[in-house]
């Protein structure tokens, strides 16, 4: 796979060089976009120790994007995403891309092919959906089905053109620890050549999805696989994720599943995540319900793996969100609902085994 991706990148570069020195293309100009999601919440934890019953949650990013198309048809673009609030990962995705009749190649700090091509159950609300939510109960783990163990580590990703509804993608990550934009460390400095591979070594990701419509029924389906190799005696970690969505008559129904083997480098540690949901909407409004669960097995609390990483332990977790949204105008959506969380054994929240969150908010896109 490494040779295929690098070879594709070389062909793209060669095409650009043979385009000639004269070009009518304009220099890339950056555009500004992004989103901001703000919610007022009321929370009830099973264990009310140090509980903050009400709070305000913010989540957002500012996007700097731009592209230009050369005379030979190649399109070059850039995408830089800045977190709207202070965080360790202040600059999120940062990558360039080139696309044409051959497909598209991303180079830089961006999610993997399996992540970007994944479909999961529909969420009835912004921010508080259960597949990679921007907001959730304190201390509970996200039961996301999106293959995401590679995160935004620097990588090369290739996507084919879409043929008869199908599209393929593949990613190669030279160093699973290195990500542009994070605080520099011994293993993670984007301005120096890698001289210490750290905990995670090379990683690979492949994905395929299918998008089509038959009369009044739309279908979206995906399948992805990822492998993260590790140094020393730590175990390699791999995961597989699949999902599907069906749309008809205002309804969207979907579900997804992810299985992770040797999670966190622990030998025999397995984790399963799943979600299912349904939404119904007409015009500017939408309502729905979504359920997600997780099951972790094969690890004992307090253990450390060969890398010295702490073990999160075994247990189960379940979450439900019920809510709705209404589009007030272009880029302005009001939403509200309630989340229910339940954890068993080691997969519990920091405030207790159960949590209920009532939320109301506004999502802005610009």
What digits encode the pLDDT tens for the residues 276-321? 999 999 999 999 999 999 998 876 655 555 555 555 567 888 999 9
Which positions of the chain have pLDDT values less than 50? Answer: 3-6, 11, 14-22, 181, 183-187
Which CATH fold topology does 35-58+110-152+164-183+198-365 show? Porin (2.40.160)
Which DSSP letter does residue 125 get? S
b/e 79-115 (16+ beta carbons within 10 angstroms → b): bbbbbeeeeeeebbbbbbbbbbebbbbbbbbbbbbbb
CA quadruple 346, 351, 356, 359: dihedral sign: negative
pLDDT at 196: 52
The domain ranges of the chain are 35-58+110-152+164-183+198-365
Q: What is the pLDDT of residue 92?
A: 85
pTM of the predicted model as reported, rounded to 2 decimal places: 0.86
- Taking Cα atoms as reference points, which of 72, 77, 40 lies closest to residue 57? 40
Residue closest to 54 by CA, chosen among 355, 358, 362, 363: 358
Residue 18: its pLDDT value, please?
Answer: 46
pLDDT value at residue 193: 56
Phi, psi of 314 (to 5 degrees): -100, 165
The rounded distance, in Å, linking the Cα atoms of 110 and 118 is 15
In whole angstroms, what is the distance from residue 119 CA to residue 306 CA?
34
Q: Residue 95's closest CA among 119, 112, 83?
A: 112
């Amino acid at each position: 796979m490494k040779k295929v991706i690098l070879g594709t990148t070389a062909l793209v570069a060669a095409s650009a060089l043979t385009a000639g020195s004269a070009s009518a293309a304009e220099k890339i100009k950056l555009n500004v976009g992004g989103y901001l999601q703000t919610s007022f919440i009321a929370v009830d934890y099973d264990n009310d120790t140090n509980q903050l019953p009400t709070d305000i949650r913010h989540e957002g990013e500012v996007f700097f994007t731009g592209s230009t198309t050369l005379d030979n048809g190649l399109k070059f673009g850039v995408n830089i995403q800045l977190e709207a609030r202070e965080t360790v990962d202040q600059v999120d995705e940062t990558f360039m891309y080139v696309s044409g009749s051959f497909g598209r190649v991303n180079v830089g700090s961006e999610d993997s092919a399996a992540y970007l091509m994944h479909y999961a159950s529909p969420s009835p609300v912004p921010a508080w959906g259960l597949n990679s939510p921007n907001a959730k109960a304190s201390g509970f783990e996200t039961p996301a089905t999106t293959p995401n163990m590679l995160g935004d580590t620097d990588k090369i990703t290739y996507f084919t053109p879409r043929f008869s509804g199908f599209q393929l993608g593949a990613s190669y990550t030279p160093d699973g620890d290195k990500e542009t934009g994070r605080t520099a460390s011994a293993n993670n400095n984007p301005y120096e050549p890698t001289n210490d591979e750290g905990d995670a070594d090379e990683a690979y990701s492949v994905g395929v999805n299918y998008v089509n419509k038959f009369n009044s029924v739309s279908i979206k389906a995906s399948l992805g696989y990822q492998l993260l190799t590790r140094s020393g005696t730590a175990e390699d970690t791999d995961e597989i994720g699949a999902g599907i969505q069906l749309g008809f008559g205002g309804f969207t129904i979907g579900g997804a599943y992810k299985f992770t083997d040797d999670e966190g480098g622990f030998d025999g540690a397995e984790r399963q995540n799943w979600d299912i949901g349904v939404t119904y909407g007409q015009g500017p409004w939408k309502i729905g319900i979504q359920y997600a669960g997780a099951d972790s097995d094969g690890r004992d609390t307090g253990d450390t793996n060969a890398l010295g990483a702490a073990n999160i332990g075994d247990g189960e977790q379940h979450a439900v969100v019920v809510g709705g949204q209404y589009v007030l105008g272009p880029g302005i959506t009001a939403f509200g609902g309630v989340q229910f969380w339940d954890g068993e054994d080691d997969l519990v929240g920091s405030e207790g085994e159960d949590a209920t969150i009532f939320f109301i908010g506004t999502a802005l896109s610009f």
